[in-house]
Amino acid sequence: MRTSAYADLADIHVIGIPRALLQYRYGVLWQTFFEALGKTVVISDETDKAIVDNGIARSVDETCLASKIFMGHVVNLIGRCDAVFVPCYASCDMHRGFCTKFQSMTDLVRNTFRTELRVISLLVENVSDIKATQAAFVELGQRLGASRKESKHAFKEALRAQKEVDGQQAQRQEDVLKLMDEYRGIVAKDPARAEQAPLSILVVAHPYIAFDQYMAGDIIRSLTQLECMPLFACETDHAKSYKASLDFSSTMPWIISRELIGSILMLKDRIDGIILISAFPCGPDSMTDDAIMRCIQGVPILNLMIDAQTGTAGIQTRLESFIDILQFQRRGGYIRAER
Ligand code: SF4
């Protein structure tokens, strides 16, 4: 591999990536990019109590649980890599932005871990501007010792891999929905109604909450044990769900919140219930959850908040009651019971 003139990071061979926040959205892109440059990538472990406690110890009280957990994942990578990758994602475009945590995390980590580990980063000003995003990655690739051509090639390969995974997720969701539609059709034709289709529950949460073992792991496992089919709003086709969200609000700034709301609008007639899961005290969710609860009609919603002190304790009972109510309602519900 030819060494570039800017290769001040060429001595970094093993790159750590915290399994938190935007890693759940762009992790495939990041990992593929670094591996295509010949680097070894270490992803931090699944979130557990130790990671949460370490994250809380390195964070100020006021930050959300998701960013505290991010800090715990950085701790988890100390001694396991030459540098940790903490990119700065500022916005999506002129009208759509990310939560400010994604922008500030590089500085937070650098200031918190000062001498404990090296941090490599890049600035993505506008993620929908592929040329500018590519330029940021190419510059980082060159600093890591790759040539411009090699870095460009690595980015293209990474982008293709991320698009492929996103497409597969959206397709998998559509396949499950079709299967559930067919199942309901068959059950509806059965006059005895001996068999019922599983309840389809749309889990509406940022991907780093929905797929995090500590935050939503127990909830998803319980849904499966209660014979429900969990679907994830964050897996709906991003472009389509963003477009659908314009019917809900023309001014909401947060892109991921928009996609989650768009997913609800697209799927609400094909699901039996919605579970909102937020990390305390999330600024964007405090506004959007309230708007969803008030404005989405015709489908029952359970709103769950996970905080650092209690975790998911006490949530099980609420979850079981919610599913009980949905099942009771499907068997004819309160209207039938009154007859
Ligand atoms: S969107 Fe909410 S949960 Fe996510 S990083 Fe921002 S404040 Fe935290």
Q: Check residue 187 and give its pLDDT.
A: 80
Residue range(s) defining the domain that contains residue 261:
198-338
Does the pLDDT at position 158 exceed 70?
yes
Rounded to the nearest whole angstrom, what is the distance from the C-alpha of residue 225 to the centroid of ligand 1?
29
Rounded to the nearest whole angstrom, what is the distance from the C-alpha of residue 99 to the centroid of ligand 1?
6
Rounded to the nearest whole angstrom, what is the distance from the C-alpha of residue 61 to the centroid of ligand 1?
14
Residue type (1 letter), 205: A
The tens digit of pLDDT for each residue in 77-130 reads 999 999 999 999 998 887 788 999 999 999 999 999 998 999 999 999 999 999
Residue nearest to atom 2 of ligand 1 (CA): 282
Asked if the structure places residue 213 within a domain, the reply is: yes
Q: What percentage of residues in the chain have a pLDDT greater than 90?
A: 80
Which CATH number fits the domain that encloses residue 45? 3.40.50
Q: Which atom of ligand 1 is nearest to the CA of 281?
A: 7
Q: Are 64 and 99 in contact (CB under 8 A)?
A: no
200 closest CA partner among 133, 267, 143? 267
3-state helix, strand, coil in the chain (%, to 5): 55, 15, 30
The tens digit of pLDDT for each residue in 23-77 reads 999 999 999 999 999 999 999 999 999 999 999 999 999 999 999 999 999 999 9
Say how many Å lie between the first and final Cα of the chain, rounded. Answer: 78
Does the pLDDT at position 337 exceed 60?
no
139 and 208 co-located in one domain: no
Does the pLDDT at position 3 exceed 60?
no
Q: Check residue 151 and give its pLDDT.
A: 98
Pocket of ligand 1 (CB under 6 A): 64, 66-67, 99, 101, 206, 279, 282-285
159 and 18 co-located in one domain: yes
Both tokens of 76, joined, read 């988890």
Confidence category of residue 339, pLDDT binned at 50, 70, 90: very low
Instruction: Quote the number of domains for the chain.
Output: 2
Which CATH number fits the domain that encloses residue 304? 3.40.50.11900
Does the pLDDT at position 336 exceed 60?
no
Rounded to the nearest whole angstrom, what is the distance from the C-alpha of residue 206 to the centroid of ligand 1?
8
130 and 35 co-located in one domain: yes
Other CB atoms closer than 10 Å to residue 249's CB: what's the count? 14
Asked if the structure places residue 87 within a domain, the reply is: yes
Asked if the structure places residue 191 within a domain, the reply is: no
140 and 45 co-located in one domain: yes
236 and 331 co-located in one domain: yes
Angle at 300 between CA 294 and CA 305, to 5 degrees: 70
116 and 208 co-located in one domain: no
Does the pLDDT at position 188 exceed 90?
no
Q: Which atom of ligand 1 is nearest to the CA of 279?
A: 3
331 and 212 co-located in one domain: yes
Rounded to the nearest whole angstrom, what is the distance from the C-alpha of residue 284 to the centroid of ligand 1?
7
Other CB atoms closer than 10 Å to residue 313's CB: what's the count? 10
Q: Are 308 and 56 in contact (CB under 8 A)?
A: yes
The tens digit of pLDDT for each residue in 200-238 reads 999 999 999 999 999 999 999 999 999 999 999 999 999
CA distance 202 to 254: 20
Q: Which atom of ligand 1 is nearest to the CA of 254?
A: 1
Asked if the structure places residue 77 within a domain, the reply is: yes
Asked if the structure places residue 43 within a domain, the reply is: yes
Q: Which of 118, 138, 163 is the last residue of a domain?
A: 163
